[in-house]
Chains A and B, each alone.
Chain A
Amino acid sequence: MINTFFLFFFVGAFGNLFSQIEYHIALGDPIPIEISKEMYVFELNENGNIFKFNSEEILSYKFQNPGKFKILCIENPEFFENHKHMSGDHENCSLIHLPDSFFVFVDSFKINFNLQTVKFKEEIICGNAQSNNFAEINAEIVTYKNQKVLVPELKILTAGIGTQISGSNNPFISNTHATKLKYKLSGSCSEATFIQFDFLDQNNNATSFAKAIQKK
């Protein structure tokens, strides 16, 4: 779920084990960061506006503009003051330590998949090749200021016992509107089982649903 790239430059101290963390998120999505509550405060410069957040606020913050943003992670002195009675360095143990800063790349659009509308041209039967099959799903494309954006090729991946089914659609240009995405499927499955279908957005974040699949 978290599209995170770690590049480590090991210096020796624990706090330096991080280098630059980057998160790629869709417009309007929160930052998929795991943090220990109240351990840090955060500072964001979004187009000249300086925002300061506590842990809960940073987890729920939604960027208003696309682009690349740097977020400073500042150790919360109150947190460490309140926890100094515990075992000193041991406090590090179960806490998530963050680097001094990290970057967030905010896309200029977001795709909201409506799982209630998933349809397959043909019922998926394990043992049958899916090369002539299609999946359809209604989706809402929300773009920054309703501008036209290029939505890249989107994919469906599946998980489950014996499944190798996947799907892809074609890139298209869109502004904010509801649309029906059509994926050409390929691959097959071998077992009667439950298969999880992951509709991936442009950052490979999955919106998933599962269904029982019969065997031929």
Chain B
Amino acid sequence: MHKKKNVIFFLIALIFSLKSFSQCIVTCNQNVGVFSNNNAASIAYDNMISSFHSSVVAEEFGYKVWGENVMANGTTHSLFPRFIDTINFPTLKGKVLLASIGSNSITNAQLVVLTSDGLFVGGIVGAVISIGIKSNTAFNKITVNGKTDGLPFGISPDSVKMLFVSHGTILITTCGGRVFSLSQFSHMRGDNLIGNENQWSQVFQSNGQPLTNVIAARGNTYFGYALKNDNTIWTWGWQTRLGDGTLALDRARATQMVLPAGVTAVKMIQATSQIISGSVSNATTYYLLDNQNRLFGLGRNNVGQVGDHTNTDRNVWVRVKQNATTDLNNTAWISANEHDPIFANLAILSTNSQARTVGSNSRFMIARNLNNGINHTGFPNGIASSDTILFCEVGGHTSAFVKINTPRYGYTGHHVNGSIGNNSGLDNEITSVNFVIPPVISICGTVCDTPKLYKLPFNCGDSIAKFVIKGRSNNLVKFKINGVNDSIIIPTSDSVIIQLINPASDVSLQILSVNNVFCNISLNIRDTVKLSSRLDTTVILCKGFPFIFNNISHTLSGNYNYKLINYLGCDSFISLNLIYKDTSSIQIFDTICRGGSVFFNNQNLTNSGIYKDTLTNRLGCDSFIYFRLIVNDTSRKDTTRTICKNESVFFNNQIINSAGIFKDTLVNSKGCDSFVYLTIIVNDTISNIIFDTICSNQIYLMGGQMISVSGIYKDTLKRSSGCDSFVTLHLFVKDTTKKDSFLITCKNQPILFNGMSRNISGIYRDTLVNSKGCDSFLYLHLTVNDTTKKDSFRIICKNQFVVFNGQTLNTTGIYKDTLINSQSCDSFMYLHLTVNDTTKKDSFLTICVNNLIFFMSIIARKKQ
């Protein structure tokens, strides 16, 4: 499948290659620089091509070259400009049609020349074309893929419109609008990676069709950038961008880019790259100039090269700015470093002929203050803002400028290996644009092909003023005669007469341009108005003004006759009737306020001063009016007041409650306006809504207000800004609960309540939490009944006993018995028992056995 596609591509290329195109190279194309027009197809991009330290220029009589590696042996440096001809390049054959040069840093350049005989290349091997095509440095014709003119199949030298050269790459734009690439870099060939570095590839579009209708194919080393005649733009190569916000991407075929918004017609395209450390990644930057003089940038921006006064990479088109805030709106010409890949920058010419530069300033190559660094759009050093710059070309490590009426071009940057062309091989830096030491060059389109301008004698009695312009035949001369623009093409006789019949005044002719190149040559023919030989005139003057005529001062009225001869030899008869009249004068005073005006002598007067008007008095003579005007100043007072959103200010009979600047007009001490400007700053108020809940036994304190009832309450606080903060409180009050308990107890039976033992009558409260989270109050109504006590005293003998509380007691002591009293409480009975001892007495009696003795009513017997 892939092979089949390749065959189709080849067939399409072959079919197109069989078409023939007429020669379209414009010799010494004048459409260049600040006077270039908007015809994008005829822009002369390559009237000067600068690589790293070499330059090629197109002059009227041929191409010149100087700098590194541009001698015929391909290694020697040319210290001064020399024609690309058979004297300097003996192997050259045919008429030189186009020339260009590409490089990759120092002493690494190849010169490419297209003649009617084919393509010639000389210089360091590999700098532009592959070693497989050319393995030596000597300048000679190349053969590519067997084709001995070095061009693509089907392409002859006279069908090449544009020859673009950069490091490793040659792009050819044909008269018919196709693009061919001879590149050492795969994607730069634009052929979907089917070709190689030793053969030409036709650039195809991403849709598989050839890229056609191209009017300019440019780019830089690794990527192509083409403009079609339908104002579409296309790109291919490594790290290409579309301007639609997508990131840089390698593209093996041309892909259509988006145009900057608002662009309908493109004038110029340019591109550059910044490859410092050898990395191609993200290195590409594009520029586009439209037909409304607007300049756009896109891409890598690490040194500010996009020109938008940032150093952030841009994946969308942005306007190139003249400062941080203002877009450039008057760009006439741009030149980027296209022919070397290392340093990215751009030079810009405005329609008023001012030059600006932007991007890398390595070795001061764009004449900015700092070596290297980030350089936003600004004026290069060495060029005054009043200078008229006609042309610029940014090279690999140098820049060139052409200034009007300055035959030597201006140079800045690294000077080495003859890069200036001033016959110097020094190695130094030119840190600002130098218009003194470079050689004289005449870049096509930047030099006025100076015509000669003569005038024919204008004698007494003549009626036609005649100028003669001598110049090159077929040159278009634009001129202005007595303020009227006109133009003429110089005929084959090399001269033309411009004449003005019956001129009413002196005649001035100014040549503005030749072939659109600015010129400034002018010539006057004086005294073309011949007075008649007689003049009768009446002169009325006011007294005090002597009339001097023919060296005689007249102060009195009268008739005076003269016969004179003018300096052209013609008679001049003059009859002078001189009348003197009286003059008069008055003074007027007035006072107004600043800003007001007084209409006087057909003008509005606004400043203090003495103004004069001249009227005619009753005698018909001057009546001078001196008007002395005093303008009193108005006054102004600015006041700032800060209010809150809910406040207002009464000012100038209006109530103001919004931010802004308000004006009132009063009257100051001089009776003039006193403008009072009041700046109102309104700070916001804030509303806060708070929902909260309390219990009915609690109080909500809000702004000094004690709240205990459910409801909506509002308060107004003050913020740090002094403005109100409105607070709305939605308060819900939850109930507490209460329970009463009645309890009776005895004194000796205390009740434990709320953690304490209670045996005193009274009301006690305990607080619990109810189901709503509020207090639940428990009230205890406690009645404590007394106990009773009774003491009994009893004395018994030891041999006696007492029964108490169910016990038989015969021991001294206090005994307690508890009974229940009438209040159902304990009744304590205490028995104080005293037991007295009995006494003992022993009596001894002797009786007989049979005797009885009564002892205390007891019969005692003898023990048995």
Contact = CB atoms under 8 A, between A and B. Distances in A.
A binds B: yes
A50 interface: no
Given A87-B106, A87-B107, A208-B313, A161 B245 contact: no
B312 A93 contact: no
Interface in B256-309: 258, 260-262, 276-278, 296, 301-302, 308
A-B residue pairs, 7 tightest by C-beta: A210-B245, A193-B261, A191-B261, A94-B105, A194-B316, A161-B261, A93-B106
Nearest to A209: B245
A184 B366 CA distance: 40
Interface string A127-167: 00000000000000000000000000000010111100000
Nearest to B397: A93
Given A37-B278, A87-B106, A212-B245, A161 B312 contact: no
A17 to B, nearest CB: 5
Interface residues of B, number: 44
A177 interface: no
Nearest to B105: A94
Nearest to B310: A159
Contacts of B318: 159-161, 196
A11 interface: no
B253 interface: no
B371 interface: yes
Contacts of A86: 107
Q: Report, as a range, how many residues of chain A touch the other chain.
A: 35 or more
A193 to B, nearest CB: 4
Contacts of B310: 157, 159
Contacts of A90: 106-107, 416-417, 427
A40 B672 CA distance: 74
A96 B276 contact: yes
A26 interface: no
Contacts of B107: 86-87, 90
Given A2-B302, A195-B245, A210-B315, 6 more contacts: A36-B277, A193-B260, A193-B316, A194-B317, A196-B245, A196-B316
Interface in B512-569: none
B101 interface: no
B384 interface: no
Nearest to A161: B261
B497 interface: no
A173 B319 CA distance: 37
Interface of A: 1-2, 4, 6, 8, 14, 17, 34-37, 86-87, 89-91, 93-94, 96, 157, 159-162, 191-196, 198, 206, 208-212
B396 to A, nearest CB: 9
Contact of B416 (A6, A35, A93, A160): A93
B414 interface: yes
Nearest to A211: B245
Contacts of A37: 277-278
Interface of B: 52-53, 105-107, 243-246, 258, 260-262, 276-278, 296, 301-302, 308, 310-319, 342, 362-363, 370-374, 397, 414, 416-417, 427, 429
B262 A161 contact: yes
B260 A1 contact: no
A9 B397 CA distance: 23
Contact of A194 (B105, B258, B276, B278): B258
B315 A208 contact: yes
Contact of B277 (A1, A35, A157, A212): A35
B483 to A, nearest CB: 40
A1 B397 contact: no
Nearest to B363: A93
Contacts of B397: 93-94
A208 to B, nearest CB: 7
A147 to B, nearest CB: 30
A86 B108 CA distance: 11
22 contacts: A2-B374, A8-B370, A17-B371, A37-B278, A90-B427, A93-B414, A93-B416, A96-B276, A96-B372, A159-B308, A159-B316, A160-B318, A161-B316, A162-B262, A192-B261, A193-B260, A193-B316, A194-B243, A194-B316, A196-B314, A196-B315, A208-B312
B371 A36 contact: no
B105 A34 contact: no
A160 B244 CA distance: 10
B188 to A, nearest CB: 21
Contact of A2 (B53, B105, B311): B311
A21 to B, nearest CB: 10
A90 B67 CA distance: 14
B317 A161 contact: yes
Contacts of A160: 261, 316-318
B245 A1 contact: no
B489 to A, nearest CB: 42
